[in-house]
Amino acid sequence: MSNENTQTPFYLPSGNEIKLFEHAYRHQLPVLIKGPTGCGKTRFVSYMAASLGRPLYTVACHDDLTAADLVGRHLIGSGATYWQDGPLTRAVREGAICYLDEVVEARKDTTVVLHPLTDDRRILPIERTGEKLEAPPEFMLVVSYNPGYQHAFKGMKPSTRQRFVAMRFQYPNSKLEQEVIIGETGISNEQAERLVNLANALRALKGYDLEEAASTRLLVYAATLIHSGLSMVDACRAALVEPLSDDDETIHALMEVVNATFGV
Amino acid sequence: MEEQVGQIWHRFITRLARTEYPEAVVHLDEVRRTVGILFRALGGDGGLRVEAATATHYQTRRNWLQRIAGAAQQVELAWRSTETLCLPAQLALFPETILNRELYLWLAALAAFHPDTVTQQFNWFLANQVATRDILARFPGLRSRYQRLMEATLTLRPDPAHLPPDESVRETAIQAALRDPGSINHYPIAQRQPMAVWLWLHPEPPLLTGKSQPRKDNANVDSGDSDGQSQAAREQRKKKGERTEPPDGKSGLLAFRFESLFTRAEYAKVDRTEDEEEDLAKAQDALEDMDHITVTQAEKKAAVSLRFDLDLPAQEQDDYILEGDILLPEWDWKRGELRNNYCCLQTMITKNAPAVELPQHLRRSARKLRHQFQAVAPLRSWHRHQNEGSDIDLDAWLSHTTDILCGHAQVESGLYRDFRGGNRDLACLLLADLSLSTDAWINNSARVIDIIRDSLFLFSEALHNTDDRFALYGFSSRRRDHIRFHHLKTFKQNYNAATRGRIQAIKPGYYTRMGAAIRHATNLLIKESNSQRLLLLLTDGKPNDLDHYEGRYGVEDTRHAVLQARKKGLQVFCVTIDERAEDYLPHLFGAQHYVLIRKAEDLPKTLPLLYMRLTQT
């Protein structure tokens, strides 16, 4: 959970997502972002929060995250109890943007607090204190999840899903991805082109040999290592190949792909 | 004596004539996975299997030693078909192991870039150059590798100066094309075939040639290759195949050509419709000796295959049909479309299966498993004395406050309570393959079907004592109109002696139309309201059926069914005992979603534990 409010982060749009988000914000519609891991969902939200001038509360959801973690709980002080707001409550009070990352991971009881916030009532009832917060027009709820995760056993309930304006993110196209890498790390045009070429080769393996495709985030990591002086092959092994698989043979084969791209 | 001398001479002369380097040999099996991944990463089709290529006849200039030895008449070159990526079974072309290995990788890369249809020689010449050029442009890391391979290859090629004029011109062109791919557009014609170009794909890949006739789906036509009967060729080399028209059976032909001897490799359209090799071992040997196989579609069934159809039980002895004619779609990958209402499935239940107790030999394991499962059964309850929690633990707080008021200094700890656990809400459907291949013996005492039966028993025993809901089904098929889906236990039924009776009564039969069975199981499972739904598939081999449902068709249909099931929010996982599963299961289920049990005897005990691991979050 964090409250980020610094200068606008680097973000390159790949479609109309900025406009869409702004419209949703203006009309107080909650937004659902779908997309594979490391394609820029979180970055996009922090970019939007900064450009709209709202504070951002990010909650990384996990399978033990309960409604109490979002809304708040009583804490014990000396001889008394104090109520402490959770990130969602705080965001509602301040009129901030609340971003629930990987929302499907959270426990089911969280939907109880999300539902009244995401329809036209826009209220947050806090059962334990008897409070009923009305969300100001600046408050916005953004949730994201990765539809590709099959091992999670989980999907989003249709009744929850239908309360959001949804947008789908993909890895950016080759040209844009090159610009992103260059913008993030400052490596040369030619190196960026080769990295993206390699990423596309690795992405072709998704579903056959690899569980997950190489993400833009990993590419940025690799580019960062390359920019700071590591050789391309070493950087790719550390930032692209090893994170994608644990299987020796697969790693070996992926290194062949890396060698094919960068040479030995 | 003569034979022995002959053998020694043969060994001597072939060794002398051999141009390869056996000490630097690299086998396909060593690099199969690497090659496959490289091929796919560079843009090759993910559905292709990597297989050993057959040696093909190659008419080229040989030196006198090779001619004496009768060697070098055949070469193993790489090619790609719609189902397979064929690479030489072994490479020992270069004196260094590393170069032979690199040649494998190069061929895989080239195959990924090579255009689909190359028919004429000229196109072959051009297509390989273009593919080489494209590859080096897109993957510059391969340049140094290509350079090394190219130089090594050029040293093996004949000197154009020592060739007849026409071959000399062509050899010069080939060598120039190797040096600078894409530079030579004209392919000079010469009498013989040029020496095999190892860096390129096969000029005339031995794909099925000749007329291919439309299969008659419901006519009495039996496929020659079926899992139940035919044994996989000992070495998994592909045979050069050709389809031809079958003789009509009326006009016999007597052919005499005194100057040449008929060999098994030639197909003469002589009417021998009824003649069939009865000795399977002999037929197997013949199959391995031949390098060119002509297949035809006979209207009459072969005796061996006929056995299956005699197997079909009479209506009154067959299992009781619960629900007939459930129509299901099938995915045709060649057309790229879903054919609706293409398969017809019957759900059936064993008639008169007597209720039984758990077999004696499983009781010990069952008891152990039950304890293990109870130990991990999650309960939903308030956890008290927690350092963090959604509520205050009033008791803890009271005693804490009392302690402080009494003057005992206490560190604040465990003052909260939390409601945890018990959020497991799971339904599992186990689908077992009951095709005829499960009739095979895996050791002296058990057949595959026995293993599957024991697995079903132990699985049920283990799950019976948990809150997880489960159902058991079995399936087999005979063409698309007769898919048998056996009810062993539905979600609503309790696990009891009658269920055990039905499990006891499972028997092998027919084929494996996996896609349709998965689709039906999916339909059953999505009706369950549990939040986690697991479809567990237990099998011993590839999808296959009597009709066109084999090879890539079956695999692609099954893959489609699996993907659809996942899209509907099911978790699909496959447990197999097929040793060759690594070839196709990653494509079907994804690398993380299947497990291969190498020791089939272990399956009954492993399966429940595997389930436990799978479902633990």
Q: What's the rounded mean pLDDT across residues B133-156?
A: 89
Beta bridge partners of B505: none
Interhelix angle for B514-525 vs B551-567, to 10°? 10
Q: Please tell me if residue B529 touches chain A, with a CB cutoff of 8 Å.
A: no
Closest chain B CA to residue A86: B390
What pLDDT was estimated at residue B601?
80
CATH no., domain A2-168:
3.40.50.300
DSSP for residue A240:
I
Select the residue from A154, A200, A209 to test the B interface by mutation, using most B Cβ atoms within 10 A.
Answer: A209
Q: Please tell me if residue B616 touches chain A, with a CB cutoff of 8 Å.
A: no
Average confidence score pLDDT of chain A: 88
Same domain, B389 and B530: no
Lowest mean pLDDT among B180-194, B409-423, B540-554: B409-423
Residue B616 with chain A: CB contacts under 8 Å: none
Domain span at residue B474 reads 321-372+433-615
Closest to B419 in 3D by CA, of B446, B449, B385, B383: B383
| Interface size between A and B, measured as CB pairs under 8 A | 121
Q: Three-class SS string for B142-184?
A: HHHHHHHHHHHHHHHCCCHHHCCHHHHHHHHHHHHHHHCCCCC
Beta bridge partners of A75: A82
Indicate whether B494 belongs to any domain. Answer: yes
Q: What's the rounded mean pLDDT across residues A211-239?
A: 92
Same domain, B398 and B476: no
Q: CA quadruple B299, B302, B305, B311: dihedral positive or negative?
A: positive
pLDDT per position as a tens digit, A55-114: 999 999 887 788 888 999 888 777 778 899 999 999 999 999 999 998 888 877 788 889
DSSP for residue B582:
G
Percent of chain B whose predicted confidence (pLDDT) is above 90: 7
CB contact under 8 A, B140 and A263: yes
Interhelix angle for B97-113 vs A248-262, to 10°? 80
Closest chain B CA to residue A78: B401
Same domain, B585 and B448: yes
pLDDT per position as a tens digit, A197-223: 999 999 988 877 787 889 999 999 999
Q: Quote the number of domains for chain B.
A: 3
pLDDT per position as a tens digit, B460-481: 888 887 778 899 999 998 888 8
The gap from C-alpha A197 to its chain's centroid, in whole angstroms, comes to 24
Same domain, B474 and B446: yes
Domain CATH for B346: 3.40.50.410
Percent of chain A whose predicted confidence (pLDDT) is above 90: 58
> Over 80: is that where the pLDDT of B482 sits?
yes
> Over 80: is that where the pLDDT of B17 sits?
no
CB contact under 8 A, B143 and A263: yes
ipTM confidence: 0.77
Indicate whether B111 belongs to any domain. Answer: yes
Neighbours of B263 (CB within 10 A): 8
Indicate whether B210 belongs to any domain. Answer: no
- Which residue has better confidence, B69 or A86? A86
What residues contact B77, with CB distance under 8 A and at least 6 apart? Answer: B53, B56, B88, B196, B198, B200, B201, B202, B203
Is-contact B61 B136, C-beta < 8 A? no
What residues contact B494, with CB distance under 8 A and at least 6 apart? Answer: none
Query: Nearest CA to CA, how far is A203 from chain B (Å)?
Result: 7
Same domain, B363 and B394: no
User: Last residue of some domain: B357, B391, B420?
Assistant: B420
- Which residue has better confidence, B561 or B262? B561
Is-contact B446 B307, C-beta < 8 A? no
User: In degrees, to the nearest 5, what angle opens at C-alpha B242 toward C-alphas B238 and B248?
Assistant: 140
> Over 90: is that where the pLDDT of B413 sits?
no
User: Last residue of some domain: B179, B207, B238?
Assistant: B179
> Over 90: is that where the pLDDT of A226 sits?
yes
- Which residue has better confidence, B220 or B98? B98
Report residue B28's pLDDT band, with 50, 70 and 90 as the boundaries: confident
Backbone angles phi, psi at B451, to 5 degrees: -65, -45
Same domain, B400 and B499: no
Residues B237 and B28: their CA atoms lie apart, in Å, by 11
| Cα-Cα end-to-end distance for chain B | 71
Same domain, B395 and B533: no
